Structure 1
Amino acid sequence: MSRAYRGLVIGLLAIVTCSAFEAMAVTTAMPVVAANLGGQRSYGLAFSLYLTASLAATAAAGSWSDRAGPRPSLLTGLFLMCGGLLLCGGAWDFTVFTMGRMVSGAGAGFMIVPVYVIIGQALPSVLQPVVFGWFSAAWVVPSLVGPYVSGLLAEHVSWRWAFFGVVPIVVVAVLLMWPRVKSLGAPEEKSMVAGEGRRRALLGAGLAAGVAVAQWAAQSSADPEIRTAVTPVVLALLGAAGLAAVVLTVPRLLPAGSFRVARGLPAVVVVRGLLTLAFFGAEAFVPLMLVDRYGLEPSIAGLALTGGALGWTVGSFAQTKGWLPRPAFLVVGPAVVAASMGAVALVVLAQAPPLLLASAWAVAGMGMGLATSTTSVLVLELSDAAERGRNSASLQLADMLGGVIGTAGAGTLYSLMLTPDMVPGPGAFALLVGALAVSAFLSGAAGSRTSPPLPAVREADRA
């Protein structure tokens, strides 16, 4: 917070906070929005279109930032995010609202990648772990107050202000950053071949479309109403087509060697994807377990998620202290997450007091804070100046894909467990969380390979 960095850091934190608040606010305000604009039948589009556009923009922003520096992508993201928020706030029907959500998602994708590039260019390496620690706090505050504030706006003022109110904050954030950002240009060394940026943008669009189709097919297969309108064969074909698009595009958007967990940067990206898959897949069911199995009120059950968010912040700040070599956090963090999720499964299976479940989830959040903030720092450390944008985009894509696969996959499995007038027993819940804990365990195995490969020894050096 010295004078040289104060405006930049506050602006970066404001952008992250606004992104988090928008996500939290939309979740809380959406029932009111859908009722007011007649969008009950298209409810899911407000979420899926946001994700689809964000995935495509993230892929495009990486190459763009490497080619032209972070400024064009940042300003484009600012324009799109503000335009989308204004479109959502002024929407006169749900179709316009969903289009606004798609524009906002594109803006978020174009903004988050240059944020990483700016940190790599404008902040010394000793400050980067601290900034990523504060980023976690910037997500926690909206998770604590965002739903409540959005609910108050929707109930007593208008749901539209949950979108209008974010616009001036985003604009001020960019203005605070601009004195430091305006001098940041493209890296002197260029590693991008001609047409690569366009190719990555097309691949990102294909990935986004594949994810959207596969997610809809998976969720629809567990919905009796949709199954009566769309035959299982059609749903299966759509799901297969979506998965095929994902399989064909992801290897071309992630660092080479990611699928075989090569040492260095590929392993860092794999850790991020597997961890988010495990954590967010299980997080969706923690309140459900507390409500269905323990009979708690939803407001009380939601405090468990607050504990996880606070634990995440503690872990994020702990990794800044340097009490372990940085790559070691990518082994310790996933181990803590896997053990904590195993403890959650045992608590549910044994019907132990719910306080134990909430405590285990808070510890899981701490493990996530240790590992995810470290992945952000390591991506910058392991990237050349000419590749920061693409590699940061790869990390964000792994993050989003892990969250989508975790939540959609776990949600589909849970829906398939349901039978009419019956709630899955504790064994089913424990099995679901235990299966997701395996992903965290595999993430720790990948974390052991995050040290960069040793350089090859030339014959002349050997002689």
Structure 2
Amino acid sequence: MSNHQSIFSPRYFALSIGIILSVMAVGFEGLAVTTIAPSIAGDLNGIDLFGWIFSTYLLAQIIGTLVVGRIIDRQGPAAPFTFALLLFIAGLIVAATASDMWMMIVARAMQGLGAGAMMTCVYTAISLSYPDELRAKILGAFGTAYVLPSMLGPYVAGIIAEQWSWRFVFWGILPILIVSALLSLPAFRKLRAQGSQEGSGATATWMAVLLTIGTGIFLVGLGMLPKITGIVLVIAGLALMAQPLRKLLPRGTLTFRRGMPAILAARGLFFAAYISTQNFLVLALINVKGTTPAQAGLIVASAALSWCVFAYMQGRWDSADQGHGRNKRIVLGVLLLIVGFSIVFWIPAVTIGFAVIGQIIAGIGMGLAHPTSGAVAFAHTQADGAGETSANLQFADSFTPGVVIGIGGAILVVSQAAGMTMQSGLIVTMGFHLLLILMSLFASSRIALIRSISQE
């Protein structure tokens, strides 16, 4: 195939635009809820259930992600994608019309199930529809479509909620999803299952449910630390999570075994550390440095901008070297994340200017490492395992950030309970993120056996 082939050529145009729109819709909704959640909880008299607006979405997303991957490999992605899309739309409608907090929590569960399944189907469509030469490009566009809402989503959602109502945020996403469905569903219907995965789909479903229960108990326990009840729940949650993680992920993922397990471990670690750092950086800028929420948002957005630019550039470089430099780009990206995080690590004690520099460098690292890791994973996936690999990639992008943010919050609470200042607690939390990135660097060094197969 010519290196001049584009993801927007006539053959791929509708699917590419449909994928980009669906990813933008999910990304915008997730970030918008962060801004409007206080208004939702206040209007629905559910401040005591505030955290479950986010936790319910995460826990449901685990099931949607892991279960649909096995279904795709048996039935193809068209039916699961249609169901997931309808479920997400239904969740938006229920949220927009919610009359109490419990109704909102049910809506968030529907959205989480739908979003997890949708993104897994999208990853599978990328694996089955695009040749290896174009995957780095479409994954770069995928990443950009997910990151761009972080620059405008919270601000736009805040304006909508202030001028009209938070309910219009949910209504406003519906047209985007409808256009996405019209463009992408015809292409999805052409995709067929390439084989069947061995093993019981029922077993995988139960493992996903058990993992969700264990994760929920773990997160609740983290929120209760340093009380003894919190410690007990954290241990119980970890015990319930251990077996499902071993069963649902490729063998050796938790020990960074060379090859596919290492790439999934590296991706999960660096993505979780990045997302969690963004959350706590905003807290540091507002509570310690005294910036306004709008200023903090602009500083964090600088990483999104550099991510988008370099996600696009890595696609061009991938075409130039025909994929042979992918492993080096992943390692370079993780190294740049280490540099960026090392700067952000001291944000509570240094100037805001350093925050911008650190964010830009970290964004460059993500632009290089995130889409490239997906391209490497798909290049070494057999056609009959595309759904499972897609589920694993989506799992790394959703499960690990939620858990790491919970751990980071627990570190901050425990440090303050021990008498440390907010500034010192944030430095310890940032240090935890830096440790995860160092672990990711080790894992990324163990994917050296994965080579480009773009010319096979």
TM-score of the two chains, using structure 2 as the length reference? 0.92
Residue of structure 2 equivalent to 1:235: 230
Q: Deviations over 1:49-90 (max 9, x none)?
A: 111111011110110010101112101101110111111111
Return the letter of the residue paired with 1:299.
A
- Please say if 1:294 is aligned against 2:289: yes
Higher mean displacement: 72-81 or 310-319: 310-319
- Aligned equivalents of 1:123, 1:437: Cα separation in 2: 35
1:205-224 alignment runs, 5 A limit: 205-221=209-225
1:236-275 alignment runs, 5 A limit: 236-275=231-270
Higher mean displacement: 22-31 or 315-324: 315-324
Distance 1:424 1:159, change over 3 A: closer
1:298-447 alignment runs, 5 A limit: 298-320=293-315, 321-322=317-318, 325-346=325-346, 348=348, 351-418=349-416, 423-425=421-423, 427-447=424-444
- Indicate the structure (1 or 2) with the bigger Cα radius of gyration: 1
Question: What SS is found at the alignment partner of 1:262?
Answer: coil
Return the letter of the residue paired with 1:436.
H
Q: After TM superposition, what 4+ stretches of structure 1 lie above 4 angstroms from structure 2?
A: 419-422
Residue of structure 2 equivalent to 1:449: 446
Question: What SS is found at the alignment partner of 1:186?
Answer: coil
Residue of structure 2 equivalent to 1:15: 22
Identity over the aligned pairs, expressed in percent?
Answer: 30
Residue of structure 2 equivalent to 1:118: 125
Which residue of 26, 35, 44 corresponds with 2:33? 26
Residue of structure 2 equivalent to 1:91: 98
1:135-146 alignment runs, 5 A limit: 135-146=142-153
Paired residues of 1:211 and 1:243 also in contact (CA < 8 A):
yes
Paired residues of 1:311 and 1:362 also in contact (CA < 8 A):
yes
Deviation at 1:435, TM superposition (A): 3.0
Paired residues of 2:207 and 2:248 also in contact (CA < 8 A):
yes
Paired residues of 1:286 and 1:304 also in contact (CA < 8 A):
no
Query: How many residues end up aligned between the 2 structures?
Result: 439
Paired residues of 1:330 and 1:444 also in contact (CA < 8 A):
no
Paired residues of 1:338 and 1:438 also in contact (CA < 8 A):
no
- Aligned equivalents of 1:424, 1:149: Cα separation in 2: 30
Q: Deviations over 1:152-205 (max 9, x none)?
A: 221222211111221232122011012222111110x43x2252x221111111
Return the letter of the residue paired with 1:390.
E
TM-score of the two chains, using structure 1 as the length reference? 0.90
Question: What SS is found at the alignment partner of 1:438?
Answer: helix
Return the letter of the residue paired with 1:397.
F
Deviation at 1:428, TM superposition (A): 4.2
Point out where structure 2 has 5 or more consecutive residues left out of the alignment.
Answer: 1-7, 452-456
Tell me the C-alpha RMSD between the 2 structures.
1.9
- Aligned equivalents of 2:156, 2:439: Cα separation in 1: 38
Deviation at 1:353, TM superposition (A): 2.4
Distance 1:453 1:145, change over 3 A: closer
Point out where structure 1 has 5 or more consecutive residues left out of the alignment.
Answer: 223-231, 455-463
Paired residues of 1:71 and 1:184 also in contact (CA < 8 A):
yes
Deviation at 1:304, TM superposition (A): 1.7
- Please say if 1:44 is aligned against 2:44: no
